[in-house]
Chain A
Amino acid sequence: MPLLLAETSFLEVRPGLIFWTLVTFVLAALVLRRVAWGPIVARVDEREKTIQAAIDAAKHERAEAEKLLGEQKAAIAQARREAGEMVRKNAEDVERLRADLLAKARAQAEELKADAKRSIEDEKAKAVAEVKGVVADLAIQIAEKLLGENLDADKQRKLAQQYLDSLGRPSSTRPS
């Protein structure tokens, strides 16, 4: 141990070493500041800025895209709603048209039926009147045959007509 302590001292401070430490440190600081710290820190800062800008831009674009997407969704919903409304309206229209047509057709049919009935009545009345005339003529001819042609033609016809008219009246006025 004495040998160790005599020969050396860990705590020996050499002024020369302090001097060289300061010199090399200052030189290293100056050179590295120029070669390393400046460029590296500048690059890191620039990259940070670029990345930040890119992130900001991406966020902005995303927000924009979301907004556009929302707008498009709204537009699609609107279109869908309108289409649905249109379909419903069309269905209503068709229904109404069908009802109209049906009603019209029914009315026409009614009218036709009424016309047909009326003309049948007319024809019937006409036919009855005709039958009446024919019957009167037949009766006169029969009566002439029976009476021996004494009565003149006009008087007979009048008589027969009266008789025939009374045929159309209620039974109380009908001669027995």
Chain B
Amino acid sequence: MSRYVALLGWMLATVALAAEEPAEHAAKHVPPGKLQAVVEETEEPPQDTAGYILHHVLDSETLAFQVPLRDKEFKYRFPVWRIPLKAGACPANVHEKASLGAGCLDLSLTKMSAMLVLATVVLVLVFLLGTRKQEGGLVPRGRLANFLEMMVVFVRNEIAIPNIGKEEGPRYVPYLLTVFFFILTINLLGLFPWMSSATGNIAVTGALAAITFVLTQVASIRSAGFLGYLKHLTGGVPVFLWPIMIPVEVLGLFTKPFALTLRLFANMLAGHIVLFCLIGLIFFIGHIAVAAVAVPLGMAIYFLELFVAFLQAYIFTMLSSLFIGMGVAMGHHPEAHEAEGTHPPAAH
């Protein structure tokens, strides 16, 4: 984690320094698309190097596909879908930013949401492919089917059951499996050309962590009862200490999903920025010889990212099951959770 932060800082500094140098081709603002979805061709892609990198890791209203070896880029602007929570809150110009604070809910599809949908489709297709033609008895057949089955059994037997327990564990296995494969697919999708990792966006990881948060609370209330759940929030201390204890406990509830959110987000974003920075060095320095260093290094980071894609999916799932398991344990071990509940989990 700290390694990533250091790398991220270094790369950001590199990007910033490069960006401050006067660019020969000033960044041309791409003419905004029309209101409907259109596919347009622009002859000149943006030349701003810092923007070039960030363009790949940040969300955007458009999908851009660059044609290799030609200065061409296909752009697709997603249709706008804005819901005004207050009359006239949404700006009439679709290129103006809609702000939720002003009362406009912007639900337009974006690059990252498109990646989410694509990842879901890919995931479902892979599983349809991996589970078909299994009528031939119980003998496992096919590498894909075996691999998927191995992963499924791993999540169930090595993550869910040990952390949540044999009785309650199977109930949460579908969620943990979905979250594992969902994150894994999104992570891996970012390693393909033209694609990006939606898990490098804090909104996505936040939403996923929120689901874990809700499930953790549901597990706690299911096992301890609503009153037991509330009682747990007092930490079992005398009443005069409640004003101190209750905020600490509530904070403890929220630190877990917060840690989940930041860990996944920062890991995926950092890896991609490092990768883009290494390749971007060629263009910053502007000499082809840099590629001799940058490309092998970039490849090493690419393989590291491949590993991190699995690792972070595993960690998110692992910690989710740990938190759910703690919620489940709330009702089962009344003497143990007092000590455990007062401290936020140390498993960061």
Residues of A at under 8 Å CB distance from B? 1, 3-4, 7-8, 10-22, 24-25, 27-29, 31-33, 35-37, 39-41, 43-44, 46-47, 50
Question: Quick check: which of B68-76, B202-210, B276-284 contacts chain A, the rest being far away?
Answer: B202-210
Give the A-B contact count at a CB cut-off of 8 A.
143
Residues of B at under 8 Å CB distance from A? 12-13, 15-16, 19-20, 50-51, 54, 58-59, 81, 100, 105-110, 112-113, 116-117, 119-120, 123-124, 127-128, 130-131, 134, 138, 140, 148-149, 152-153, 156, 173-175, 177-179, 181-182, 198, 201-204, 206-208, 211, 269
Residues in chain A near residue B12, CB distance under 8 A = 1, 4
A25–B211 CB distance below 8 A: yes
A25–B178 CB distance below 8 A: yes
Query: Which of B15, B100, B201, B211 has the largest count of A CB atoms less than 10 A from its CB?
Result: B201
A36–B127 CB distance below 8 A: yes
Residues in chain A near residue B148, CB distance under 8 A = 36, 40
| Chain B interface, >50% SS class | helix
Asked if A44 meets B109 with Cβ closer than 8 Å, knowing A21-B203, A21-B207, A25-B182, the reply is no
Asked if A35 meets B131 with Cβ closer than 8 Å, knowing A11-B202, A17-B204, the reply is yes
B50–A4 CB distance below 8 A: yes
A47 to B141, alpha carbons, bound, how many Å? 13
Q: Which residue of chain A is the closest to B20 with respect to CB atoms?
A: A3
| Chain A interface, >50% SS class | helix
A27 to B211, alpha carbons, bound, how many Å? 13
Asked if A35 meets B109 with Cβ closer than 8 Å, knowing A10-B202, A14-B59, the reply is no
Query: Which of A19, A21, A50 has the largest count of B CB atoms less than 10 A from its CB?
Result: A21
B131–A39 CB distance below 8 A: yes
Asked if A35 meets B124 with Cβ closer than 8 Å, knowing A20-B109, A21-B204, the reply is yes
In whole Å, how far is A48's beta carbon from the nearest beta carbon of chain B? 9
